[in-house]
Amino acid sequence: MSNLKNQRTDSPLLFQVEGSVAKLTLNKPDVSNAFDAELIRLITTAVTTAEQDKNVRVIVLQANGKHFSAGADLQWMKSMANENYDYNFADAKQLAHLMQTLNNCSKVTIARVQGAAYGGAIGLIACCDIVAATADARFCLSEVKLGLSPAVISPFVIEAIGVRQARRYFLTAERFEAKKALELNLVHSVFVTETEVDEQIQTWCQQVSQNAPSALLATKHLIKRVSIETDTESISDYTCNLIATLRVAEEGQEGMSAFFERRSPNWNG
């Protein structure tokens, strides 16, 4: 995706920036948006491109067609089975790079899920900050049925749903509905229609876009650091330093001034 502006409409991934929102659309509905090496590369490049765009505040990951993604493309998987260990290891590193790129993205990421979300698609969902799904969405960590394991996506899925639930759904490979995904904390909101999903995502995008860019980045780092830090004194120093730094920074000063002066802060134009 060296030239995103001139991409074909039949590209496996569509990229569009609308104001402060970058939309990444999986565009292989004929194969239920199953991904292969090319799509993995395209998503990674698109996330990186959106992250480097100073005007983008939110990245929305969505899909055309009935399904979000059926996971790995069967023909791609068949071809990989004929390759040696070294080739498969290098290929898995590309998927890991995608997951890390999305999970560590400095912009707020939102996933829009409909229909099937199987295998690696659940990894993409788990890497996003916020997730909305339709009530008919269904999920499955199906790898063990194929003699495989949800290995590469496991750190991100386990972080989302917890070890106890992973021990069930990784090992049974059972399918579960959107309501259960909500209970598992894999998704945040479930709606009856796709229109309702789109309306909620639009609301989230508007809300995020009203927030201070540097504060959003700092808060994403905060969530990650606090979730993994075990040293109480260290985390106390980190959090105190963060709030003190933000208070005296230009953005923090502007935000507080705008609040007391009852006006819109300058990052809203």
H/E/C letters for each residue in 65-101? CCCCECCECHHHHHHHHCCCHHHHHHHHHHHHHHHHH
| Euclidean distance between CA atoms 60 and 205, whole angstroms | 9
pLDDT confidence bin for 202, thresholds 50/70/90 = very high
Sheet strands (E) in 114-264: 116-118, 130-134, 138-140, 175-177, 189-191
> Same structural domain for residues 139 and 102?
yes
> Same structural domain for residues 135 and 242?
no
| Euclidean distance between CA atoms 125 and 15, whole angstroms | 18
Give the mean pLDDT of 217-233. 90
Give the chain's domain count. Answer: 2
Does pLDDT of 4 surpass 60?
no
The pLDDT, as a whole number, for residue 269 is 58
> Same structural domain for residues 135 and 179?
yes
Task: Express as a percent the part of the chain with pLDDT over 90.
Answer: 76
Residue-number span of the structural domain to which 142 is assigned: 13-209
> Same structural domain for residues 64 and 153?
yes
pLDDT confidence bin for 10, thresholds 50/70/90 = confident
Task: Express as a percent the part of the chain with pLDDT over 70.
Answer: 97
Does pLDDT of 3 surpass 50?
no
> Same structural domain for residues 130 and 62?
yes
> Same structural domain for residues 157 and 249?
no
The pLDDT, as a whole number, for residue 73 is 85
pTM over 0.75: yes
Q: Which residues pair with 108 in a beta bridge?
A: 58
**Is residue 266 assigned to a domain?**
no
Angle CA 93–98–100, to nearest 5: 90
Does pLDDT of 75 surpass 90?
no
**Is residue 231 assigned to a domain?**
yes
The pLDDT, as a whole number, for residue 8 is 66
The pLDDT, as a whole number, for residue 2 is 36
73 against 13, higher pLDDT = 13
249 against 27, higher pLDDT = 27
pLDDT confidence bin for 182, thresholds 50/70/90 = very high
CB 95 within 8 A of CB 40: yes
